[in-house]
Amino acid sequence: MDTSVYNYLVSSFDPKYKTNYAHDARELRSIVKRIRKQTQTSPVYLVNFTNSKQSFVLGVKESSMKIAESLRVLADDSADSIFLRKTAQSSDVEQVGAELIDADGKPLPGDFSIRVKQLANSQVNQGKEYYETGKGLSAGSYQFRVTVNDIGYDFQYNIRKDANHREVIQGLSSFITKAAIGLKAEPFLFGQGKIAMRLESTMVGTPDGNATFTLKDKNSDNIGRGIVDYYGLNNVLVMPKSAVFDLNGVEKTSINNEFTLGRVVKVTLHRPSKTEAYVDYHPDREAILDGVQNFISSYNELVDRNLEFEHRVDMPSKLLRELKGLSKTFSNELEACGITFDTDGYMSLDRSLAIQAIESGDMQKLFQLDSHVTSRLFTKADSVKINPMEYIDKKVVSYHDFSKPPRGYSYITSLYSGLLFNSYC
């Protein structure tokens, strides 16, 4: 089988599959020695290499590599281990939300309690109401200033002749909102065909208890009232307020309903409550569950390839039989962590049991590098990816003569060449 055939078949299996594991020179030398030994000591076989057999051999090799890589992620005991990742958890998510942000390498603050007394809110102004079709200010240019957080913005708005209140308020609302100065203005409809303008700050809270924004008329070329005064745009309906809460029993304030504690915990206040919420830290369940599910998917992919091959050749799969026998030896350990097998050999995950195992630390113990389960699965996946030809039917032509020195080379195109070192076997 040449490289073009191999590359074509590999691309037809899983073109998105890429290993994230960096191999070193020692590992490559080790693989070369193993393949050389396999080549030198194995019998010579005659194989009827059909397309289905080629697809099966390449498929189980790729699947076994995925299994090994998923196990490597779970067994990682470095500082980047998924079992060392944490999440913040609130006992009352309706009152307070908590999540970790950029917590890598940073110390976490201790567990804490929090009770929300008052949420921060925005300032709301509501103007005078007029009949929509009525007319008020005369045509002309009207100038006014809007001050938002001590920053002044000058506006000039032109009213055309015979414009009614609805047209003026709709146009002026759009004019102020599009300026993007931290205000949202919109028409507000009353019953009996009346309309007014409603203005609201886009930010909540106030640092000093005063209004967040004000509006004031400036000199205009009109005789009479300015547009702010006429439409009552500076009438405050709701004053802005900062959030008030108890943190570990001590009252605190915040101009926002969201703040960061210790630079790593983002706390979001949702609603006031008479009882405290408690925030503590737990293993990152979702990250661990994703890692376990990735391993299960890789394992099931290998089972799937074997069942498909069984159907094609109408013969029991040797590899599937070995996998079922292997799974029986540690089925109790897997089941305790929510991982079970069906009659065909597929793995499945009980999420609730898995979460319990994550919280208790049993899931981490299950996938430690030196654990019974991980070491056996690593060994099996490794042997399959080095010599997948073991699992197709073939005829023996001759046996190795152990009375003579071994001969053979690692890179010869034999059945045991590691299939051209794809991703280091």
Bridge partners of residue 340, in order along the sequence: 348
Which amino acid is it at 341?
F
Q: How confident is the model at residue 44, as a pLDDT?
A: 66
Question: What's residue 328's pLDDT?
Answer: 87
Phi and psi at 121, nearest 5°, equal -135, 165
User: What pTM value is reported for the model?
Assistant: 0.69
**pLDDT value, residue 382:** 85
- Say whether 145 sits in a helix, a strand or coil: strand
CB 302 within 8 A of CB 67: yes
CATH architecture for the domain at 124-238 = Sandwich (2.60)
- Quote the tokens at residue 378: 């690593």
Provide the residue ranges of all domains of the chain, joining segments of one domain with +. Answer: 3-82+285-424, 86-120+242-283, 124-238
Taking only the tens place, the pLDDT of each residue in 376-405 is 999 898 888 878 877 887 766 666 666 676
Nearest-angstrom CA–CA distance, 153 and 399: 92
Phi/psi zone of residue 419: left (φ > 0), alpha (ψ -120 to 50 degrees), beta? left
Q: What is the rounded distance in angstroms from the CA atom of residue 284 to the CA atom of residue 286?
A: 6
User: Mean pLDDT in runs of 10 for the chain (425 residues)?
Assistant: 50 52 64 69 70 84 90 90 91 95 78 96 96 91 94 95 94 96 95 94 92 88 77 96 96 94 93 96 93 95 91 86 89 93 93 94 93 90 82 70 62 47 45
**Rounded distance, CA 363 to CA 334, Å?**
9
**315-361, pLDDT tens digit by residue?**
888 899 999 998 888 889 999 999 999 999 999 999 999 999 999 99
